Structures are given as C-alpha cells and as structure tokens.
C-alpha cells in the first residue's frame, strides 16, 4: 500500500498564512473597545484623537503580519487621551487585554498609559 502524505508545499501554499489566535483576539478586543468608546461622551477633539488612534490600530492589526509595537503605540495614544478626558475606566479592561495580547510591545506602549 502506498503512503499518502499532505506535507507537500508549493510556492502558492507557502504564501497562504493564517493569523494567530492572538492576532484574531487582538482584532476582536480593539473592535469591542471601539464600540465602548462610541458610547462615551467625549469632546469633538478627544473623540477625533481616540477614533483616529483606534482606526490606525485596527488597520495595523488587520495586516497580514501586524507590527505589535505600532498597534501598541496607537492604543497608547488612545489610552492617554481617554485618561486625560477622565474616560479611561470604561475601556481599561479592553486595553489591559490588548496589552496582554501584544506581549512585550504592549508593556512598552499601552501599559504606560494604564
């Protein structure tokens, strides 16, 4: 009987990559944070800054291989703005979760604002 294996890798299959569960969870966490921020009463300037930062974090997290430090820097900007506005508490749990998912990059960026 001939053995059949599925370990054949062509250039086409090698190019297909799936996001890690951490990346998927990070994307979900950012999306939930965006939903929470939408319900906050922020000034127009604060809202613009936070939403721009979260949008940039979402775009980077959606990349095939997101740069964790870039995502963290955008979340850090949002967190500092929310903290200055006195509106960090409603999103702090989500930002802490994002910090965990980003690992050392999260500790160097987002965690400094929490």
* Confidence check: pLDDT of 7 > 70: no
The reported pLDDT for the residue numbered 14 is 56
Q: Is 52 exposed, middle or buried (0-12, 13-18, 19+ CB in 10 A)?
A: middle
67-111 pLDDT, tens digit per residue, is 999 999 999 999 999 999 999 999 999 999 999 999 999 999 999
The reported pLDDT for the residue numbered 97 is 96
23-42 pLDDT, tens digit per residue, is 999 999 999 999 999 999 99
Q: Which of 45, 32, 49, 51 is nearest to 91 (CA)?
A: 32
User: How far, in Å, are 14, 29, 90, 92, 103 from residue 33 at the CA level?
Assistant: 34, 6, 9, 9, 18
pTM: 0.84
């Amino acid at each position: 009987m001939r053995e059949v294996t599925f370990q054949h890798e062509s250039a086409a299959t090698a190019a297909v990559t799936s996001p890690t569960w951490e990346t998927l969870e990070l994307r979900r966490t950012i999306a939930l944070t965006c939903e929470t921020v939408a319900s906050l009463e922020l000034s127009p300037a604060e809202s613009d800054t936070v939403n721009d930062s979260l949008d940039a974090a979402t775009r980077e997290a959606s990349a095939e291989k997101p740069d964790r430090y870039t995502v963290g820097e955008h979340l850090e900007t949002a967190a500092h703005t929310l903290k200055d506005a006195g509106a960090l508490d409603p999103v702090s749990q989500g930002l802490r979760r994002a910090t965990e998912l980003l690992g050392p990059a999260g500790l160097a960026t987002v965690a400094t604002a929490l």
